[in-house]
Amino acid sequence: MNSGKDLAARSRAAVWHPCTQMARLDAVPPLPIARGEGPWLIDTEGRRYFDANSSWWVNLFGHADAGLAEAIAHQARTLPHVMLAGCTHAPAVELAERLSARTGGALGHAFFGSDGASATEIALKMSAHYWRNLGQPQKCEFIALAGGYHGETLGALSVTDVAIFRDAYAPLLRATHLAPALHEAGALAAIEAKLLELKGRCAAVIVEPLIQGASGMRMHGPEALRELRALCTRYGAHLIADEIAVGCGRTGTFFAWEQVSTASWPDFVLLSKGITGGTLPLSLVLTTDTVFEAFLSPEVARGFLHSHSYTGNAIACAAANEVLRRMEAVLPTLPAQAKHLREAFAPLLADPRVEAGRQTGMVLAFDVRAEVAGERFAETFHLVARAHELLIRPIGRSVYLMPPYVIDAPTAQWLAQQVRATLDEVCPR
Ligand SMILES: *Cc1c(COP(=O)(O)O)cnc(C)c1O
């Protein structure tokens, strides 16, 4: 039996869902999704839901995309996977070359990981190992920003500052130096003070450019990042730009960093999530000639030491290459798509129940005021939204839309109308 009820019950028994209090699964049963079609997810009973959060920010062109399916099928029939040590293959080479070209060659070396958290791990290790190779092993501390999110494996969690993900595991984590987030006043002075205090022991500063995602879509402008780049250079620390969520067009440009500078890049840029358009797990750590060359040596131990079985998986790389091909046509349409969202949501952002309306490219967010949100706001909003054909999961009181790049004016209007209807039901005026 594969009826929806049956699937949800079997899921509760056998599948341990992520980011979920399993004791609440009866109150919030998982949607039994049978298939996807464009931005729509269709459940086993034939009901549809607009995937307003792009399935945790990974989807770009809609679900079950024919071009991506074809690229994946073709690669699966040709060469699904081969180890990337001792062998290489065209999909990996092409992907690395394409991404290098997008940075004008500034980040010409790509290391492959399996998911976002592993990209963070790789960048932290690579940064510290770089300094060690330069005879500065004391440079192995990291500065992370308040509210930053970089994944949940132990190393990545060490530089993540989201209490709900971190508190239970705090005893397992390496100490990290926390500075204020870039949208906070005085952040840059505080980061500089930390760099001074660390007296040359800071290997790298890690940041989510333009939008801090997991802590509730907190946004800052490119100017702060320009200054942060200069600070890192001045104090001899690497800058790691975690574009796992904001890369692949999410902010309106392929890399969020393009809005900061196309001349002065971070030392590391991390990509994952959208890079395969929501089809397969893959991540990349892009870095510079300077970093790359510090690892060249006759000694194996001076080389970068990080291996995982599926590194550079050919099917995932083929999907990513298809995403990059498609982005050529999609990128120019993003400003208009973002404008449709802005116009459709303008009345809602002016609603007295709502505050801190904000938008960067294809991410639009607002907070529901504390006094109207009520208990279990995020869960209630998510449940009520289902009845309005929306799949949406607020973060605390922050409601956000991060849809696939398929937004025209009527779709944006429809989304705004459904979000308002949900809000009216959850927080009646
Ligand atoms: C999602 C995310 C990660 C972690 O990626 P996973 O694939 O979930 O491990 C890291 N950094 C940012 C900014 C993210 O949004």
Condensed to tens digits (0 to 9), the pLDDT of residues 17-50 reads 998 999 998 888 999 999 999 999 999 999 999 9
**What atom of ligand 1 comes closest to residue 152's alpha carbon?**
9
* Both tokens assigned to 301: 């131990």
* 245 CA distance to ligand 1 middle (Å): 7
Tell me how far apart the alpha carbons of residues 191 and 375 are, in angstroms, rounded to a whole number: 36
Alpha helix (H) residue ranges in 134-206: 154-158, 163-166, 187-197
The alpha helices in 295-395, defined as continuous H runs, are 314-330, 334-349, 370-373, 377-387
The β-bridge partners of 41 are: 36, 49
Q: Which residue, among 418, 396, 379, has the nearest Cα to 217 in the 3D structure?
A: 396
Alpha-carbon 398 to chain mean position: 17
Give the pLDDT score at 409. Answer: 98
- Quote the pLDDT of residue 26: 87
Contact partners, residue 213, CB within 8 Å, separation at least 6: 57, 149, 245, 246
> Is residue 393 a known part of a binding site?
yes
Measured distance CA(314)–CA(78) in Å, rounded: 10
Distance 16 CA to ligand 1 centre (A): 19
Instruction: Among 118, 149, 182, say which to mutate for ligand 1: greatest number of ligand atoms within 8 Å of CB.
Output: 149
pLDDT of the residue at 320: 98
Give the pLDDT confidence of 145-189 residue by residue, as tens digits: 999 999 999 999 999 999 999 999 999 999 999 999 999 999 999
Distance CA(416)–CA(410), nearest Å, equals 10
In the predicted structure, residue 289 carries a pLDDT above the cut 90: yes
Three-state DSSP class for residue 50: strand
pLDDT tens string 104-126: 999 999 999 999 999 999 999 99
Q: Is 307 assigned a ligand-binding role in the annotation?
A: yes
Distance CA 196, CA 203 (A): 13
Q: What is the pLDDT of residue 312?
A: 97
| Cβ neighbours for 101, distance < 8 A, ≥ 6 positions apart | none
To the question of whether residue 309 is assigned a binding role by annotation, the answer is: yes
Shortest-distance atom of ligand 1 to CA 156: 10
CA 346 to centroid of ligand 1, rounded, Å:
29
Spacing, Cα 45 to ligand 1 middle (Å): 32
Average pLDDT over every residue of 65-75: 98
| CA atoms of 55 and 29, how far apart (whole Å) | 17
Residue 117, annotated as binding a ligand: yes
Can you tell me which atom of ligand 1 is nearest the CA of 118? 9
Coil, helix or strand at residue 204 = strand
**409 annotated to a ligand binding site:** no
Q: Mutate which of 150, 157, 159, 255 to test ligand 1's pocket (most atoms within 8 Å of Cβ)? A: 150
Q: What is the mean pLDDT of the chain?
A: 97
Tell me: the pLDDT tens digits for 254-268? 999 999 999 999 999
Nearest to 187 by CA among 241, 224, 214: 224
Q: Which atom of ligand 1 is nearest to the CA of 242?
A: 13
Task: Using the predicted structure, report yes or no on whether residue 12 has a pLDDT greater than 80.
Answer: yes
User: Which residue type, as a one-letter code, is found at position 232?
Assistant: C
Categorize the per-residue pLDDT at 73 as very low, low, confident or very high, splitting at 50, 70 and 90. very high
Contact 341, 349 (CB under 8 A): no
Contact assessment for residue 361 and residue 338, using Cβ atoms and an 8 Å cutoff: yes
From ligand 1's centre to the CA of 155, what distance in Å? 13
Q: Does the global pTM surpass 0.85?
A: yes
Please give the structure tokens belonging to residue 176: 């990290």
Compute the distance from residue 327 Cα to the ligand 1 centre, in Å.
Answer: 21
Question: CA 46, CA 265: separation in Å to the nearest integer?
Answer: 47
Contact 113, 122 (CB under 8 A): yes
Find the mean pLDDT for residues 341-348.
98
Q: Which atom of ligand 1 is nearest to the CA of 245?
A: 15
Task: Tell me what the mean pLDDT of segment 318-343 comes to.
Answer: 98
Q: Is 125 annotated as a binding residue?
A: no
Q: How far is the CA of 7 from the centre of ligand 1 (A)?
A: 28
Q: Which residues line ligand 1 (CB under 6 A)?
A: 115-117, 120, 149-151, 208, 213-214, 242, 244-245, 272-273
Q: How many CA atoms lie within 13 A of 55 on its CB side?
A: 22
pLDDT band at 5 (very low <50, low <70, confident <90, very high): confident
Name which CATH class applies to 68-330. alpha beta
Using the atom order of ligand 1, give the atom closest to the CA of residue 273: 7
Residue 133 predicted with pLDDT over 60: yes
- Provide CB contacts within 8 A for 220, sequence distance 6+: 181, 182, 183, 210
Look-up of token digits 């001349």: 263
Judge whether 388 is annotated as a binding position. Answer: no
CATH class of 31-64+332-426: alpha beta
Q: Which two tokens stand for residue 332?
A: 């120019």
- Report residue 116 as tokens: 């976002």
Range list of β-strands (E), 152-266: 177-179, 202-207, 211-212, 218-219, 238-242
Nearest ligand 1 atom to alpha carbon 213? 15
| SS3 state at 286 | strand
pLDDT for 3: 81
Q: Is 273 annotated as a binding residue?
A: yes
DSSP E strands in 279-362: the ranges are 283-287, 354-360
Cα-to-centroid distance, 114 and ligand 1 (Å): 11
Grade residue 237 by pLDDT with cuts at 50, 70 and 90: very high
Answer whether residue 300 shows pLDDT above 60.
yes
Question: Residue of the nearest CA to atom 7 in ligand 1?
Answer: 116
pLDDT tier, 139 (very low <50, low <70, confident <90, very high otherwise): very high
pLDDT band at residue 341 using 50, 70 and 90 as cut-offs? very high
Sorted by where each begins, the domain ranges of the chain are 31-64+332-426, 68-330
With tokens 């790298």, the residue in question is: 204
Beta bridge pairs of residue 241: 207, 269
Closest CA to 32 of 54, 58, 61, 10: 10
pLDDT at 1: 54
- pLDDT band, residue 94 (cuts 50/70/90): very high
Q: 197-215, pLDDT tens digit by residue?
A: 999 999 999 999 999 999 9
Q: Which of 114, 272, 275, 285 has most ligand 1 atoms within 8 Å of CB, for mutation?
A: 272
Rounded to the nearest angstrom, the distance between the alpha carbon of 398 and the centre of ligand 1 is: 18
Distance 5 CA to ligand 1 centre (A): 31
